[in-house]
Amino acid sequence: MDMIFQGITQAFWLLVHGDPQVLRIAWLSLLVSGAATLLSLCIGIPVGSVLGLNRFPGRRFLISLTNTGMGLPPVVVGLVVSIFLWRNGPLGILHMLYTPSAMVLAQFIISFPIVVGFTMAATQQLDPKLRLQILSLGASRVQMVWLLLREARLPLLAAVMAGFGAVISEVGASMMVGGNINGLTRVMTTAIVGENSKGDFPLAIALSVILLALVYLVNLILTIVQQQSKST
Amino acid sequence: MKSRQASLPYALEAIDLSVVLGGRPVLEVPSLRIPDKEVLVIIGPNGSGKTTLLLSLALLLKPTSGEVFYNGQPANTTSAIFSFRRRFAVVFQEPLLLNTTAWDNVTLGLRLHGIRKEEIKSRARKWLERFGIASLAKRQVKTLSGGEAKRTSLARAFVLQPDVLFLDEPFNGLDSPTRQALTEDFENVLRETKVTTVMVTHDINEALALAHRVVVLLNGHIRQVGSPEEVFSTPADEEIASFVDAGNIMYGSVVLQSGGLASINIGKQQIEAISELEVGTEVTVLLRHHDITISLPSSEAFTSSARNRLPGRISKVLPIGAQMRVTIDCGFPLVALVTRHSWVDMGLSTGQQVVATFKASSIQVIPRLGKFS
């Protein structure tokens, strides 16, 4: 009981004084997860739009793949990415293992299907006749897709939040491909696991508080967005 | 190809059009020609392929085979389809507005067409004004009522000054007063702009008021094409009749107006109807079969509140179930329904002299759109 209380007090001081180690770890977390989410959006939104707006052979298969991908266990992703990046693995030549880039790659694989799935749902909930209406107003195909995505902007924001929320709180993949190297690949989740096993609770608790606050913020925005899009 | 070029000046022409969806043929149109400035109304039951035909003509649905020509030019390349579409405007049953302001919606097409800003402004203002929604320009479309949203979508179409206007049951789903006000505004705009129009509707009154020609579509096939009077009063067959039977349709003009009671000349006969229309107005008169009572000339002594009593001769009888469909020649044919019992009780027979009686209030009077030339 005493230890917990002590841990919380120390964690509080670390946060209030802006401990450089805490800040560095939190910053790297944001950087890695932000980059992974951005990458997923750049590729996932176009892919999701194609799946949501078009009918073509193999579409159902791709949708089932996406749905499976939305529940990918991070440790499995971590394992597969590690195998690929090992020195004698197929991508070993890139020397990426245990670097932030490897973590971005792994987190991208986790958030990509989530962004695709949310984008697909967002575009599918639009009235199919809206496409014809936009085309009839003289839009090119590119202009049409742009207008449709703008129309689905609220549910698309949910894709951003869900993608980011999934990777910021993930630990398995980051641990396996990043290695929790202090000052290089240590992010909040891996630090919490590491410090906890060492018995250094204050740092773990401080990081947990930041992480919780971040996840809460993401979910708060997500909820507001969803409620807003429901009422329209 | 030369012969098709010679088929000018059809604004729109479809040749051997067929659409197959999911292995099922839904549309089969060997030929449909729409001259410039014509208002063509497509009617048909649900699932008859009306919308499919409309979308094919509007180049928003690629037919399985066949071709659509705009001003004699085939719409057979992506760039032709794209540039022809910019000469069209489409209004669907749902307003299909984008989630922004009414102004942004009305100007969207013009912006996509790359029109100059000042022109966009003046044209959008004009059409918002024309449809009575100028004060709503800055409103988010989410906050608009059904009628207001519909007006916005109509303004969005007319602001494009299209060569061909397509409408897919544009007034469906609106409550009756809203619909009436909107239909009136729309009819006036259509008369003024004289734009070539293809419209899908269920509403026979709408077709009578607007159409130069009516196309009856059943199971993806055009079964009858003709003036609304032809189609509605002499349907080509039973199946069409069961769908379009509007009752008796007659043409006349208002010759006397006294406080909401109009006297209308039809051929050599005159009838009275409740209508505010001015003297001289050309009108279509609608009278449902079951609103006509048949009596024998000898029973004329009975007084009745019905203002119209037309003598005539029974020219044709057709038994339909428990009823007889009786055609009376009163200078123009008038069809009434009588039960078999009454038919027998009154001792009616073909050739017999009778009197057709109906109330001034049971007649529907619709002003006619200027004749198509």
* The pair of three-digit structure tokens given for residue B250, joined into one six-digit string: 């007659």
Cβ-Cβ contacts under 8 Å, A157 against chain B:
none
Q: Which ipTM value was assigned to this complex?
A: 0.75
Listing DSSP states for B192-235 in one string gives HH--EEEEE-S-HHHHHHH-SEEEEEETTEEEEEE-HHHHHHS-
Residue of B nearest to A144 (CA): B112
Q: What is the mean pLDDT of residues B81-89?
A: 96
- B109 vs A138: CB contact, 8 Å cut-off? yes
Listing DSSP states for B323-353 in one string gives EEEEEEESSSEEEEEEEHHHHHHTT--TT-E
Helix (H) or strand (E) holding B256: strand B248-258
A213, exposed or middle or buried, with CB in 10 Å at 0-12, 13-18, 19+? exposed
A28, exposed or middle or buried, with CB in 10 Å at 0-12, 13-18, 19+? buried
What's the one-letter identity of residue A184? Answer: L
Predicted confidence (pLDDT) per residue in B256-315, tens digit: 999 889 999 998 889 999 988 889 888 888 888 888 999 888 765 566 778 898 999 999
**Residue A119 pLDDT greater than 80, yes or no:** yes
pLDDT at A2: 76
**Residue B354 pLDDT greater than 70, yes or no:** yes
pLDDT at B2: 39
Distance CA B10, CA A133 (A): 25
Residue of A nearest to B160 (CA): A137
- B96 vs A130: CB contact, 8 Å cut-off? yes
Residue of A nearest to B142 (CA): A232
| B234-266 burial code (b ≥16 CB/10 A, e <16) | ebeeeebeebbebbbbbbbebeebeeeebbbeb
* The pair of three-digit structure tokens given for residue A40, joined into one six-digit string: 């997923």
- B96 vs A136: CB contact, 8 Å cut-off? no
State the best of B90, B156, B161 to mutate against chain A, taking most chain A CBs within 10 Å. Answer: B90
* Interface contact B144, partner A, CB < 8 A: no
Distance CA B287, CA B272 (A): 12
pLDDT at B7: 45
Cβ-Cβ contacts under 8 Å, B96 against chain A:
127, 129-130, 133
- At residue B8 the predicted structure's pLDDT band, cuts being 50, 70 and 90, is low
Note whether B10-244 and B248-367 share their fold. Answer: no
B195 close to B166: Cβ distance less than 8 angstroms? no
Count CA within 13 A, CB hemisphere, residue A208. Answer: 16
Q: Compute the nearest-CA separation of B184 from chain A (Å).
A: 24
CATH code that applies to domain B10-244:
3.40.50.300
Q: Which residues contact A139 (CB under 8 A, 6 or more apart)?
A: A147, B112
Predicted confidence (pLDDT) per residue in B103-154, tens digit: 999 999 999 999 999 999 999 999 999 999 999 999 999 999 999 999 999 9
* Touching B: A residues 124-153, CB under 8 Å: 127, 129-130, 132-133, 135-140, 143, 147, 150-151
- Of residues B3 and B255, more confidently modeled: B255
Q: What is the mean pLDDT of residues B53-73?
A: 95
- Using the structure block, give the residue that is written with the tokens 């000046």: B9
Average pLDDT over chain B reads 89
**Residue A21 pLDDT greater than 70, yes or no:** yes
**Helices within chain B (DSSP H only):** 2-5, 50-57, 78-85, 102-113, 117-130, 146-158, 176-193, 204-210, 228-233, 238-244, 340-345
Distance CA B20, CA B58 (A): 17
- Return the percentage of chain A with pLDDT > 70, whole number: 97
Cβ-Cβ contacts under 8 Å, B92 against chain A:
129, 132-133
B145 close to B173: Cβ distance less than 8 angstroms? no
A97 close to A81: Cβ distance less than 8 angstroms? no
Q: What are the beta bridge partners of residue B225?
A: B215
Give chain B's length: 373
Predicted confidence (pLDDT) per residue in A154-209, tens digit: 888 889 989 999 999 999 999 999 999 998 999 999 999 998 888 888 888 888 88
State the best of A136, A153, A157 to mutate against chain B, taking most chain B CBs within 10 Å. Answer: A136
CATH of B248-367, one of 3.30.465.10, 1.10.3720.10, 2.40.50.100, 3.30.70.330: 2.40.50.100
* Touching A: B residues 84-143, CB under 8 Å: 85-86, 88-90, 92, 94, 96, 98-99, 108-109, 112-113, 142
Average pLDDT over chain A reads 90
DSSP-based three-state secondary structure for B44? coil
- Of residues B2 and B152, more confidently modeled: B152
Q: What is the mean pLDDT of residues A38-44?
A: 96
Of the partner residues B98, B112, B166, the one whose CB lies closest to the CB of residue A138: B112
- Return the percentage of chain A with pLDDT > 90, whole number: 60
- In SS3 terms, A134-169 reads as HHHCCCCHHHHHHHHHHHCHHHHHHHHHHHHHHHHC
Phi, psi of B334 (to 5 degrees): -130, 125
pLDDT at A109: 97
* The pair of three-digit structure tokens given for residue B60, joined into one six-digit string: 């928003």
Give the residue extent of every domain in chain B: 10-244, 248-367
Predicted confidence (pLDDT) per residue in B321-339, tens digit: 788 889 999 888 888 989 9
- A137 vs B55: CB contact, 8 Å cut-off? no
- Return the percentage of chain B with pLDDT > 90, whole number: 56
Residue of A nearest to B110 (CA): A137
Kindly report the pTM of this predicted structure: 0.77
Predicted confidence (pLDDT) per residue in A58-108, tens digit: 999 999 999 999 999 999 999 999 999 998 888 888 889 999 999 999 999
Give chain A's length: 232
Name the maximum alpha-carbon separation found in chain B. Answer: 76
Phi, psi of B273 (to 5 degrees): -145, 155
Cβ-Cβ contacts under 8 Å, A145 against chain B:
none
Q: Which residues contact A178 (CB under 8 A, 6 or more apart)?
A: A98, A99, A100, A102, A103, A185, A186, A187, A190
> Vertex A61, ends A60 and A66: CA angle to 5°?
95
Q: What is the mean pLDDT of residues A49-61?
A: 92
State the best of B56, B92, B107 to mutate against chain A, taking most chain A CBs within 10 Å. Answer: B92
Q: What is the mean pLDDT of residues B4-19?
A: 78
Cβ-Cβ contacts under 8 Å, A132 against chain B:
55, 60, 90, 92
